[in-house]
A and B are shown apart, each in its own frame.
Chain A
Amino acid sequence: MAGRSANGRHGLRGHAGRTAALARLLHKDCIQLLELYRNSESLPSSPVDGDYLVSIPPLVPQLSDEEKISILHAALKECLRLLEDVITREDAEFSDEDSEYKRKRKTVRDRLGHLLASTEQLLVDGQKFEAKVKEELDGQAASGSFGLKMWIVRVLQDLVHWTGQTSDTLHSMPAEMEKAPKTMSRRTRRGAGKIRK
């Protein structure tokens, strides 16, 4: 293993594999978290109406894998921020009694942080993308406790979606992708320039 890590390529592949496994695990955690919340609130299992809170540029085939990962990383970053908002708001509004939902919520937050740190190592040097959040908490929570709950559901749905996207993208990465130089093609760079900051 030491020899593999020394040449860099195998080490990156191993890291990408671990990141993909972590993303898959986190995706399952997010599904469970959403299910726990729906059960505790006696909410229907159908998705809440509305688009995803977090929006990113479309992951067109022209984008390289590194660019896709970079964009998804930005989406996950926003998801983590939304989740922390949820935690803060829930703890502020409701009693802090221990429950399975709250334990799972903490697990998701921790693993999402690990996934972000892990995917950051796969990003293209110098490339930064930002995701947008369409609706913030304040606007939703104005409609009372039910609005807050619906917003929490939407955040959890976003978590499920973007962790799933990340997991799929990481698992679909070809092995040679890691061998490719960590530079973006001009074409891709131009396409992504609109969202680059």
Chain B
Amino acid sequence: MQGWVTLALLLSLGVKRSLAQNGLGEPRGLTLNPDLPAQTLSLAWQSDSTLFDLEIFHTEFMNVVLNATVEVQADPVTGLHSWTWHSPLPLECTSHSVRIRARNQQSVSQWSPLQTIPGWDIPEKSYMFPEDKMIPVGSNMTFCCIVNEKEDFKEIKYGRQEMKATRLSRRSYAITVTNQPASDNTGTNVICSSQKFQMLTGTVVFVGYPPGDEGLVCETRDLASAECSWKKGRDTHLRIKQSLTNYTLNGRDCLEANERKTWCSSKMWEENWTLEARNPLGTVQLTDSAQLTDRVHLLAPVNVAAVKVEAWSATLQWSWSVAAYKKLEMVCQLRLFAHELSSTRNYDGPGLSSVVLEGLWPDVDYTVTLRCGSKHSFWKWGDESAPYRIHTKMDRPDALDVWMWMDSSNTGHVFWKPLSVRKSHGALNGYEVSQSSAEEDGRNTVSLPPGNFSYPILLNNSSDVTVAVAARNPAGLSQPSTVTTPAYRADSQLSVSELLGTNGSFVLSWEPNVSASSGYVVEWFPTGCTGLCPIDWKKLPESDRSFTVNSVYTTTACSLCAPLLISDSLVAGVRYTVSVYSLYTSAPTLLQRWQGYSQEMIPSQSVSELSLNQTGSDVLLSWKATEMKQQRGFIRGYTIYLASAAHLDLIANITDPAVQSYRVKGLTLSSYKFVVKAYTSAGEDAGATVAIKMEMDTADMLFVGILVPLGIMFCCIILFSIFFYKKREWVKKAFYPEIPGPKVSGDWSSPRGPLDVKPSPHSLVHIVKNPEWDFTKEGLFPVPEEEEESENDNMEVDTDSDEPALLRYYNQVVGDGSHSNQVSDSSASSTASMGSTQTEITYAGIQSPSSSQGAYSGGGYRPQMQSVTGPAEPQIEFEADFQDDGLNAGYKPQCSWQLDSPEAENFSGSLGSPTSVTSSQFLIPESSEEKPQPSNTWFHNFLSGKS
């Protein structure tokens, strides 16, 4: 056992000896000196070596935060090795331990004993680090939260953003924020919360920029001191007072400068200037260099006043608040404002303090401002003086622009244009008009109030009259303007040319006139105007040969004109008469005259008195042109339209405006509407409308209305006559078949006994004459061939039947009408006899309702239903009755007839009686001569070929 211990000691001594043999001694006296705000840890130790291994731990968890080999020379004075470590983490966050060893290539010494600086996670309180740190935008930073013993850590928020935390020790947690954005006004809050409290603790970080000021400029205001200004640069985002930017100018604090005031003053001018702007995040230096005379910025002149004011000039004086200015060569700028117009004038001189303002206008309000600058090495204009008001005196008005316009050979008006403010030189009191002629001595002077701009002239004789007009204001009378009456020339006496407007103006040119020694006058006024017309004119020098009359000129020249006298502009759609006169010593001479529109428009009114006149199938349209005032342009022609419901059809375009009628030819009988439109170069007017309904002539009406229908009617009659004549046999058969007369034989009388004829109170003849069964009304209807043949067949059968059979038939009816076979016979017989009146009468008499009812009470045979040869109306009646009867449908052929007959009741009462039988026998004619004659006998004869 003792042997093993001895071996271990020997080995240990051997190792120590090997280290000692390397010559690397363990660093001694390691001390730690933390700088908490700077987050730095300074290490100092003693050693003979220069190369060292360093290890720094977070003490509690012994996490290595630094493991580096550094070369550190010893301080020659103290012999200490010093090295500083910048911790990314605030040193308060947790305890840090450091150890060090010397190194010589691969040989190392032993580690020095651990030296520890305690963190703030030892006391029982909550903290957060770092506090109130100011860092540049974009920086990275680690924050730590130390929770107290009784709290459970929950989270750390950077502003509103929750961050991921790492644990440094039992109670310390850290977050690292990268690329931090600029803070708000009061910094960015970093808040640590526990499970219990949302705000356990926290800290504030101020993220911003270093100063960004730029553009330092220094100048002098009093030729001695300096004022330096600069422009504020980028916002630093540092709002707390201790982080605000501080300024120094040439090393002197500039206390007046702050975030808003960016200027600084110095009592003495220095040629070189340096401004230093500093905040916790950085410093910026701005420099400027200049001579004093190059940076003179004068103050504003004071006590500006006008010492002498005339009509056309004024003398302005001022003083300076800085005495040094009196020797300064300066330039001053006056700005004059009058009638919203401004002008500038520059004056220069040493210590300038007064100027004479020339070229002013009389009776005008001027406002003057003044500013000055150094003439040599001009830097900038100085401050501007307060506005000063000057009102110039009045002066005599300028001469008037006068013109005389003759509206007849002996009457006219002298016109003058109102004077503008610039020319009146003061408010006018009135005008003086004096008139003189060569034949009369003296002048006749009239004073007119200022509102007048014309005066009537009356010529009593043939001599020219010269009129002089002068304006008067408080300063005096203007030079008189004279004009001599021009000779009156009516338009009819001249060849008035048509003048076309161009872009709203007239462009005139004329041949030069040698007599126009005083130039020319261009005069224009609305054509047709009389009396006080809006005359306008322009006097031109003799060198001019052309002139443009336009609205711009007129508007400018007459901005103050009276509306009655001078046109405000060339009005579109108004015809103007434009004349050019030559001027010389005597009366003006008319050279040329035009009429025209500055801008043509469509006529404002349509043609008047539009009328039309029909001649046969032609229509003559005629109209009158609208008055000149409504033409609003030269009438170039007329267009004539035929109006329909939806559109207008052009039927003529009359290009000659003198033609004011048009004939529309070949119209048919109908209604027409014509539209006539006048047109100018601007287009057509709305158009005048006239309508007509074409009517026939009297002869045509007679022919068409009477003769033609008559002719057609006669033709029809003839054709019908021929037709019926040719077909008379057929017609006769169809409508008037031969009815055999009854043949009375000896057996005709009833074998059963004498007939006791006792006529019914109602004659059967009377019944037969029922209008509904009048043959003349019912007989003429077309009969189909088949029916005709069938009837003929029946008739033949009937005709061929034996007369006794016929008689028997009657007797049987009267005597024994209830037998069905007899009914059948009677049916056949009645069918065969339907075509004649006699047969009809007979049939009516035979068909007694009582017998029929007796025969059909059981709903048996219905012979009438099959009959198709009977007249239409009875058949319809029958069918209706049959249908009405419905299921009990017994045959009641006479029912309707009975109803139709007013005496049916009485008559039915006699049926079946001997009287009835007797009445039947009455119907049988004894001879053909005794047959009743129908009313259409002539037609029957006609069809029969009888005359």
Contact = CB atoms under 8 A, between A and B. Distances in A.
Interface string B130-153: 011000000000000000000000
Interface stretch (B84-92, B192-200, B579-587): B192-200
Contacts of B191: 43-44
Given A143-B131, A146-B202, A95 B185 contact: yes
A40 B184 CA distance: 9
Contact of B203 (A41, A46, A144): A144
B198 A41 contact: no
Contacts of A175: none
Given A41-B189, A95-B259, A145 B241 contact: no
Nearest to B187: A145
A149 B189 CA distance: 10
B518 to A, nearest CB: 76
A49 B192 CA distance: 13
B131 A95 contact: no
A180 interface: no
Residue with the highest number of chain A CB atoms closer than 10 Å, among B200, B202, B240: B202
Interface in A66-122: 92-95, 97, 99
Give the interface centre of A43, A49, A99, A146 by most chain B CB atoms within 10 Å.
A146
Contacts of B186: 40-41, 93-94, 145, 149
Interface in A143-170: 143-146, 149-150
B128 A146 contact: yes
B204 interface: yes
Nearest to B203: A146
Nearest to B197: A49
Interface in B305-353: none
B239 A144 contact: no
A149 B199 CA distance: 12
Q: Interface size for chain B: under 10, 10 to 19, 20 to 34, or 35 or more residues?
A: 20 to 34
Contact of B204 (A40, A99, A144): A144
Contacts of A150: 199, 202
Residues of A contacting B: mostly: loop
B204 A149 contact: yes
Contacts of A42: 159-160, 189
Interface of chain B: mostly helix, strand, loop or mixed = loop
Contacts of A94: 185-186, 239-241
A95 B239 contact: yes
Contacts of B244: 95
A59 interface: no
B863 to A, nearest CB: 115
Contacts of A40: 184-186
B206 to A, nearest CB: 8
Contacts of A49: 197, 199-200
A156 to B, nearest CB: 14
A192 B562 CA distance: 96
A48 B132 contact: no
Nearest to A153: B199
Given A93-B241, A94-B186, A95-B185, A46 B132 contact: no
Interface string A131-150: 00000000000011110011
Residue in A43, A48, A92 whose Cβ sees the most chain B Cβ within 10 Å:
A43
A49 B401 CA distance: 96
Contacts of B200: 49
Given A95-B185, A144-B131, A46 B198 contact: yes
4 pairs of A and B residues whose beta carbons are closest in the complex: A145-B204, A44-B198, A144-B131, A95-B239
14 contacts: A41-B189, A42-B159, A42-B160, A43-B189, A44-B199, A46-B198, A93-B241, A95-B259, A143-B131, A144-B131, A145-B186, A145-B203, A145-B240, A149-B189
Interface of B: 128, 131-132, 159-160, 184-187, 189, 191, 193, 197-204, 239-241, 244, 259
Given A144-B204, A145-B186, 19 more contacts: A40-B186, A41-B186, A43-B191, A44-B193, A46-B198, A48-B199, A49-B197, A95-B239, A95-B244, A97-B185, A97-B239, A144-B132, A145-B131, A145-B132, A146-B128, A146-B132, A146-B201, A149-B189, A150-B202
